[in-house]
Amino acid sequence: MNTSPKRTTLILLGVLWLVSLLPLAPFSTPPLSDYPNHLARQHVHVNLNQSPSLQRYYHKNWAWQPNLAMDLIVPPLARLMPIHWAGKCFLAILFLLLLGGVTVLHAALYREWSPWPLLAVLFLYNRIFLWGFVNYLFGVGLALWVLAAWIYLKPRPWFLRLTLFALLSLVVYLSHLAAFLFFAITLVVYEFSEWWSQTPRAKKPNLQSLSALLVPLLVPVGVYFSTSQGSNPANVMEWGTLRHKLLVLASGVRNFHDRLALVSCVLLFGVVVLLLVSKRLCLHKGLVACAGVILVLTLVAPEVALGGDYIDTRLFLPAYFLLASAATWKFKKRWETIGVLIIATTFFVVSTGVLLYDWKPTVDIEKDLNKALRHIPEGSKLLPVYVEPSPRVSLPIWRHMPNLAIISKAAWVPTLFTMSRQQPIQMKQPYRSQAKQLSSDLINIEKLPLLRDRAYFYQKSLFRLENLRHYDYLLIFRQKHLPHPLGKSLRKIFEGRYYHLYQIKP
């Protein structure tokens, strides 16, 4: 490999990585929907042994949960720096894994370094990232690096690859189950594509190579089935509508505005087709086959399955990064290169600007939340309610912000993610049972009409006295949209621009 292109690529990688982090800089807690929930759990990891209040509500239950990326990395960092900085460091590592992953995968495929795969920076602020599914994306980043290592080390002895990749596959699995699924599908399809492209004589079965491929994948599968006994994931399966599937295909460029995402996806697809037809762009056949199989599986996959949401979106999103790795660019004139860079830069600036505009209220919302939390004592039991009346908002950005009360007040918040199959932090009884009885803290446009029924509001909703008596405080986001006044069992102690805090009378 030529060292000059390598040096240029690595410098650009560092620059684009730092630029990609700029949108997160203004926020103490990045406004990724699930992220504050995950961050609060890391605080419990670090402070459980020193906090009697946290010990009252939570305990650790380490197991082989395939969702541990953040739980393994952030707590050690949080012992060296504030928890919010540790969380941001994790997000920085995540971005570096994704950008570096597409770069080294391209280098492994073509045996040469190129800065063009770094166009994947356009896909970092994707729909899955905005949801805050950071463990999954961390696992996808790891999977890209492991795929690159697999291709690069393919000439090495089969037993060496078997041993090494059995360990690396397990690391991807522990980061996130869906990331391992992406890795396994990609690896098998890539190897089949390579085998299919060989001459008939070279297609002779090789037991050693087959073992080096399958054994590393079977190790995590064995761990999964040996550790999932007695667990009962939800058996609900739901398939998305045609509109949902179209939005899934746009997931790499989808933000909070679905129409903008579809237009962006169509324009991106049009540019790619134009470049392919004009032979300015070529794609590696092996990774194209992987992306094609992922596309087919995405179209038939459910949206909800095995207790997980957005299964099809998680499955398809990595195809964007695979195709970025697969691309080689063959521009004949300098202005063609400049034109593509201008288009990419314009897209990044516009999409980032739209994102920052949507995130703009976050600073004031977190300040308002902190003011409200000053009124509750340490170790309180807090019930959060998130009211989102707007049909234009397809993602509840600030829904999990109240979980920050766990960090500042060692509170019990029933919406903390503590599922035994996924998280190593669990709630103690009776708080675990009470949390399960809370069907949802989200009151959206679909639920508001139901709450207009006065009898339902006071007797069956989460505002019923039977439910409230389990808590010390009620925190409501955007209370003004509720159709009825709250009951006499509540005493208002804080009224801010976004949050209302009530003490629940015994």
Angstrom distance (rounded) from CA 103 to CA 16: 12
| Single pTM value for the model | 0.94
Q: What is the rounded end-to-end Cα distance, in angstroms, of the chain?
A: 72
pLDDT tops 80 at residue 295? yes
What is the percentage of the chain residues whose pLDDT exceeds 70?
A: 94
345, two tokens: 């830069």
Rounded to an integer, what distance in angstroms lies between the CA atom of residue 272 and that of residue 341?
A: 13
Q: Nearest Cα to 257, choosing from 386, 361, 124, 391?
A: 391
Residue 2 pLDDT exceeds 60: no
Which of 223, 215, 118 is CA-nearest to residue 158?
215
Per the model's pLDDT, the better-predicted residue between 233 and 253 turns out to be 253
Half-sphere exposure of 388 (CA within 13 A, CB side): 16
Cα 41 → chain centroid = 16
Q: Which of 266-275, 289-298, 329-338 has the highest mean pLDDT?
A: 289-298
Looking at residue 405, its pLDDT comes to 97
Predicted local confidence at residue 235, as pLDDT = 62
Q: Are 19 and 105 in contact (CB under 8 A)?
A: no
344 neighbors 122 (Cβ within 8 angstroms) = yes
* 246 Cβ neighbours under 8 A, 6+ residues apart: 262
Q: CA 333 to CA 1: how far, in whole Å?
A: 24
271 near 278, Cβ under 8 Å?
Answer: no
Query: What average pLDDT does range 77-81 have in this prediction?
Result: 95
Query: Token pair for residue 144?
Result: 């890209």
Helical ranges in 360-488 per DSSP H: 362-373, 405-409, 431-437, 448-451, 454-459, 465-468
Q: How confident is the model at residue 446 (pLDDT cuts 50, 70, 90)?
A: low
Confidence (pLDDT) at 362? 92
| Cβ-based neighbours of 264, under 8 Å, separated by 6 or more | 250, 253, 347, 351
- Give yes or no for a contact between 489 and 505, defined as CB atoms under 8 angstroms apart: yes
Average pLDDT estimate for 46-75: 95
Is it the case that residue 394 has pLDDT exceeding 60?
no
> How far is 471 from 412, CA to CA, in rounded Å?
9
Paired residues of 382 in beta bridges = 473
* Percent of the chain scoring above 90 in pLDDT: 65
Domain ranges of the chain: 3-30+62-357, 362-504
Whole-number Å distance between alpha carbons of 213 and 218: 9
The C-alpha atoms of residue 464 and residue 484 are separated, in whole angstroms, by: 12
Cα angle, residue 262 at apex, residues 261 and 264 outer, rounded to 5°:
65
Contact 70, 38 (CB under 8 A): yes
Inter-helix orientation angle 134-152/83-110, to 10°: 30
Q: Chain centroid to CA 276: how far?
A: 31
- Does 506 sit behind a cis peptide bond, omega within 30 degrees of 0 on the bond before it? no
pLDDT digits (tens, 9 = 90+) for 130-150: 999 999 999 999 999 999 999
Question: Taking 70 as the threshold, does the pLDDT of residue 506 lie above it?
Answer: yes
The backbone torsions φ and ψ at residue 283, rounded to the nearest 5 degrees and listed phi first, read -120, 140
How far is the CA of 480 from the CAs of 179, 221, 451, 475, in angstroms? 41, 49, 13, 13
pLDDT at 392 over 70: no
For the chain, the C-alpha Rg in angstroms (whole number) is 24
pLDDT band of residue 499 (cuts 50, 70, 90) is very high
pLDDT for 83-100, tens place per residue? 999 999 999 999 999 999
pLDDT at 203 over 70: no
Average pLDDT for 66-88: 96
Count the alpha carbons within 13 Å of 360 in the hemisphere toward its beta carbon: 5
Look at residue 3 in the predicted model and tell me its pLDDT: 58
pLDDT band, residue 210 (cuts 50/70/90):
confident
User: 442 pLDDT exceeds 80?
Assistant: no
Residue 1 has a pLDDT of 46
Neighbours of 469 (CB within 10 A): 11
Report DSSP state, residue 241.
-
pLDDT tens string 147-179: 999 999 988 988 899 999 999 999 999 999 999
Rounded CA gap, 53 and 58, in Å? Answer: 9
